[in-house]
Structure 1
Amino acid sequence: MMNGMETTFLDPQTQEAEIEEIKQVIARLEHSQQNELPEEFVSLFRADAIWTTGHGKRLTGRDEISAFTHQVLPGAMKDSTATYEVVHVLFIRPDVAAVKAHAQYSTLEGQPIGNAGTPLYVMAKEGGQWRLVACQNTEVLAP
């Protein structure tokens, strides 16, 4: 089990299953970005979600997130790719989790581009599916 993933809300087996479901959402996020699939990306958000981009642009609601994503995602990955790894999950409630990830943009050959990212995703499980609810992308600046 990853550090910081203990909770009193869920038994260990259920917790592991929920963490795997959360990881699958982040894997779909990665897939949608790598393959420039705006509809897949937007489908991961709850309708009233809020997202702050890595450059500080606040987007509120799936419609605004969709408009932004359809504008910037097509063509964004022609010379690069992005990977995301879940590094910490904190269950706030059994159906709400704060998820920290490590993000890295790289060339198609795998060479890192720029600084890594450390996004925070607050996710809620509704109707049996984990959805992104409040997200903040943050670039890690070099010391």
Structure 2
Amino acid sequence: MPDTEAIRQTIANAEKHQNDLEEFVDLHTADALIVNIAGRRVLGRDAIREAMAHALATPLAKVLTKTEIVDIGFTTPDVALVSCVKRIFDEREESGGLPARGSLTYVVVREGDDWKIAFAQTTPVLS
């Protein structure tokens, strides 16, 4: 199915641009919701931009992630659930005790010819 390749590209771009403020934010819908591995909830593209700009100006910029897609399922032709494994690489001098792995769930929606992230939540995997 061609849509799965476009969705995979959106997720790959989120990983690729995780430290590129505008490129990352543009991958999201206007009212996107992100819940990070620490449980912080950020609602809306403007708030995502603000939170990310703040994080990139701190040692959090040295926390990088890799994403492995496990499954893509469609709830409608224009909405998909993407299940992933997120690997976390904390390169800060003083690690914040983040887990090395999380279960990441995306909800992506079709906007015109593009797939945008409407929801992203990472749940820590502690064992």
In the alignment, which residue of structure 1 is the partner of 2:126? 141
Q: Distance in 1 between matches of 2:69 and 2:122?
A: 14
- Per the alignment, in what secondary structure is the counterpart of residue 118 of structure 1? strand
Structure 1 runs (4+) deviating above 3 angstroms are: 74-78
Task: Give the direction of change, closer, same or farther, for the CA distance of 1:83–1:128 in structure 2 (3 Å limit).
Answer: same
Decide which structure has the larger Cα Rg and report it. 1
What is the CA distance between 1:73 and its match in structure 2?
Answer: 2.8
Q: Distance in 1 between matches of 2:68 and 2:116?
A: 17
Percent sequence identity is: 34
- Gaps (5+ residues) in structure 2? 92-97
Q: Distance in 1 between matches of 2:112 and 2:39?
A: 31
What is the CA distance between 1:117 and its match in structure 2?
Answer: 1.1
Q: Distance in 2 between matches of 1:103 and 1:40?
A: 20
Would you say how many aligned residue pairs link Structure 1 and Structure 2?
120
- Gaps (5+ residues) in structure 1? 1-14
RMSD of aligned alpha carbons: 1.7
- Per the alignment, in what secondary structure is the counterpart of residue 67 of structure 1? helix
Can you list the C-alpha shifts for 1:57-113, whole angstroms capped at 9, x where unaligned? Answer: 1111100111001111345344x53211111111000110000111102367xxxx8
Task: Give the direction of change, closer, same or farther, for the CA distance of 1:119–1:128 in structure 2 (3 Å limit).
Answer: same
Q: What is the TM-score normalised by the length of structure 1?
A: 0.77
The structure with more strand, counted as a fraction of residues: 2
